[in-house]
Amino acid sequence: MPWQWLWKTRNAIFAAALLAFCCGIVFAQGPQAATPSIFTPASTPATEINNLSYFVLEITGGIFLVVGGLLVYVIIRYRARDTDDNREPAQIYGSNQVELAWTVIPVLIVVVLFLTTARMIFAIQDAPKPKAALDVTTVAHQFWWEYRYPALGVVAANELHVPLSNTQDPKPTYMKLLSADVDHSYWVPQLSGKVDLIPNHPNELWIDPMRAGLYVGQCAQFCGAQHAKMLLRVYVDTPDQFAAWVKNQQQDGVQDPSVAAGRRVFETQACMNCHAVRGTAATGRFGPDLTHLMSRDTLASGILHNNKENLRQWIKNPDSFKPGSLMPAMQLSDDQLDQLTAYLSTLK
């Protein structure tokens, strides 16, 4: 029968697509190697969320086992048999006890889940802020992240550096979350819960990472065409690494005379209207601060390794990586591209 054949091919195609999709999830990590999993928390808020999710899973798993078990029992015990007399069984209507039980027990379960969740949310939100806390203002943009450290005089983009914390001497990072355009959402699952960044409505979030290393996440609120390529990278540094990073970020952009031609292109094309390089006339804030571009591992919000070829191609045509990106292709000549790439490569 043709339709049977069709049915089989459809199943085969479906299975292949599913397999490809799963492999895609595993391999399409790009520059991201760390795992954005809530089940390996590395910070107090994430640990509490992890514990709560296990509690919820235990309760809902218990309900699943009871309901599924009864269902399987009934299906097997009362299945149709050859010896059945095919008469309709006795019909029973209404039972106050049973109806009360299946109303009261679920209500109690929901109340318990609600109260434990609410208690945890308030505990995280009301946690007293220690004096040693680091303040960071995070501004979401279509489609990248701006990080400002007001007390340190540092402005960075896309890669957040924070110090390691520990329980004896906590050094948490408190983030003020803002948006320059539409709604976004900050979510690095190993460090904290999801918090939205909403225009004109500052939100807060804190993390106290207990293990050094790289943590990844991504914008969790659809914010436009390149929402999926708005990745989050949080580097948790040891005190020495963090101090060195801050010291470097506080410097003005390197001015290397051998790449003056590239700097001229940067300052005569529209680049400087959108980008800042501290210590030069470039003070644009529409795009990422480029003062220490080369101190970052990735370009364009975590989607590309930061190397010369990618940098050149990005400047030539941002749309080739991020269609709909808010940085225009500037129609530069090959010479201008080479000079610009050489200049930007000195901004360590």
Site for Cu ion in 158-187 (CB under 5 A): 184
Contact string (CB under 6 A) for ligand HEC, positions 140-179, x = contact: ---xx------------xx---------------------
How many other C-beta atoms are found inside a 10 Å radius of the C-beta of residue 43?
A: 25
Helix 96-125 to helix 44-77 angle (10° resolution) is: 160
User: Of the two residues 9 and 248, which places its CB atom closer to ligand HEC in the complex?
Assistant: 248
Which one among 219, 220, 276, 311 touches Cu ion, defined by CB under 5 A? 219
CA distances to 15, 31, 228, 267 from 21, rounded to whole Å, are 10, 19, 16, 45
- DSSP character string of 277-337: -TTSS-B--SS---TTGGG-SEETTTTEE-SHHHHHHHHH-GGGTSTT-SSPP----HHHH
CB 36 within 8 A of CB 189: yes
Rounded to a whole number of angstroms, the minimum distance from the CB of residue 225 to ligand HEC is 10
Residue 300 lies near Cu ion (rule: CB under 5 A): no
Residue 230 lies near Cu ion (rule: CB under 5 A): yes
Please work out the total of residues on this chain that contact ligand HEC, with binding judged by CB under 6 A. 32
Question: Which distant-in-sequence residues (6+ apart) come within 8 Å of 138 by Cβ?
Answer: 145, 146, 147, 148, 160, 175, 176, 177, 178, 186, 197
Which one among 188, 191, 220, 327 touches ligand HEC, defined by CB under 6 A? 327
Q: Please name every residue paired with 141 in a beta bridge, in sequence order, or none if there are none.
A: 144
Which one among 156, 175, 207, 223 touches Cu ion, defined by CB under 5 A? 223
Residue 192 lies near ligand HEC (rule: CB under 6 A): no
Spatial strand order of the sheet with 203-207 comes to 154-157, 144-149, 134-141, 173-179, 203-207
CA distances to 48, 153, 185, 267, 323 from 327, rounded to whole Å, are 39, 26, 22, 16, 10
Compute φ and ψ for 276, nearest 5 degrees: -105, 140
SS3 of the chain: helix, strand, coil, percent, to 5: 40, 20, 40
Point out which span in 22-30, 109-117, 224-232, 233-241 binds Cu ion (CB under 5 A).
Answer: 224-232
Rounded to a whole number of angstroms, the minimum distance from the CB of residue 271 to ligand HEC is 3
Tokens 């001497």 found at: 169
Helix 308-316 to helix 334-344 angle (10° resolution) is: 130
Q: What is the dihedral of CA 284, 289, 294, 297, to 10 degrees?
A: -140
* Binding partner of residue 330 among ligand HEC, Cu ion, none, CB cut-off 5 to 8 Å per kind: ligand HEC
Which one among 153, 202, 213, 328 touches ligand HEC, defined by CB under 6 A? 328
Residue 337 lies near ligand HEC (rule: CB under 6 A): no
Contact string (CB under 6 A) for ligand HEC, positions 274-303, x = contact: xx----------xxx-x--x--x--xxx--
Point out which span in 35-43, 60-68, 244-252, 266-274 binds ligand HEC (CB under 6 A).
Answer: 266-274
Rounded to a whole number of angstroms, the minimum distance from the CB of residue 209 to Cu ion is 22
Rounded to a whole number of angstroms, the minimum distance from the CB of residue 221 to ligand HEC is 16
Contact string (CB under 6 A) for ligand HEC, positions 45-74, x = contact: ------------------------------
Rounded to a whole number of angstroms, the minimum distance from the CB of residue 164 to ligand HEC is 24
Point out which residues bind Cu ion (CB under 5 A): 184, 219, 223, 230
Point out which residues bind ligand HEC (CB under 6 A): 143-144, 157-158, 226, 266, 269-271, 273-275, 286-288, 290, 293, 296, 299-301, 311, 314-315, 322, 325-328, 330, 340, 344
